[in-house]
Amino acid sequence: MGTNPLHRRSGFTLVELLVVIAVLAVLAALLFPVLQSARHKAWEATCASNLRQLGVAVEMYAQDHDERFPPSYVLGASPYASWREAVQPYAVSRDLLGCPAWEHRGAKAGELPPELQATYAMNAWLSPPDLTAAGGAAGGPVGLGSVEQPAGTVMLCDAGYSNVPVALDWDHYLTLGMQEQVLPTERHHDAANFCFVDGHVKKLPESATRAPEYLWDLQ
């Protein structure tokens, strides 16, 4: 006796279900890189915005302090003091101090040492620290008027240690064993975001800033 087709059980067979799962897996594999790329682009844009706002805060600080940049950090200061504490009063949210692509994002306050609580650092030539207590050179921030080419001179950038100023000339850090800490950190597709003294932000490979038009020192 035949089966009434109206009473036949509808639904997926195992083969059909496996085919659907396979198709979904392929689509996910195709979309994942696109979504990842979009997320990294968003991180990059947020990072650039952070640096732009920090650049404004540094300029406001300078206007109130004899046209001088804030110190990168003050050795031996208690409580801990660095450029980020110096610009904090100028309406700077601590959220601005962290690049979204930072490897330590999501860490809670107190879980990281002070030098890792921000992802940006000052240019060592504009804001050298006083390192005499550690056997290094005495330093101190320079004046805005000392910068001859504001549009080509790096002020802030992506970095690994926020209290170690970045520099492409390592000479006065060699005795401290800090060579690997003083280069910009490339978090954005083999490039880093740089904020220049005139306030504009640009993404560049670290190697590109060695070109003559991008200045680290004041000469």
Give the model's pLDDT for residue 99.
Answer: 86
What does the alpha-carbon distance between residue 134 and residue 51 come to, in Å, rounded to a whole number? 30
Give the model's pLDDT for residue 109.
Answer: 46
What's the chain's average pLDDT?
74
Q: How confident is the model at residue 6 (pLDDT cuts 50, 70, 90)?
A: low
What does the alpha-carbon distance between residue 192 and residue 185 come to, in Å, rounded to a whole number? 6
Q: Is 28:94 a contact under the CB 8 Å cutoff? A: no
What pTM was estimated for this model as a whole? 0.71
Q: What tens digit of pLDDT does each residue of 70-103 get? A: 887 766 655 557 788 888 888 777 778 888 887 6
As beta bridge partners, residue 143 has 68
Q: Is 123:167 a contact under the CB 8 Å cutoff? A: yes
Q: Is 73:82 a contact under the CB 8 Å cutoff? A: yes
Q: Is 61:68 a contact under the CB 8 Å cutoff? A: no
- Over pLDDT 70: what percentage of the chain? 63
pLDDT at 210 over 70: yes
Q: What tens digit of pLDDT does each residue of 137-196 get? A: 555 678 888 898 899 998 998 887 655 666 655 444 444 455 555 678 888 888 989 999
**Higher per-residue confidence, 122 vs 202:** 202
Q: What tens digit of pLDDT does each residue of 124-137 get? A: 788 776 555 455 45
In this structure, the dihedral spanned by the alpha carbons of residues 74, 138, 129 and 194, taken in order and rounded to 10 degrees, is 170
Give the model's pLDDT for residue 172.
Answer: 45
Give the model's pLDDT for residue 208.
Answer: 84
Count of all residues that appear for the chain in the document: 219
Q: How confident is the model at residue 12 (pLDDT cuts 50, 70, 90)?
A: low
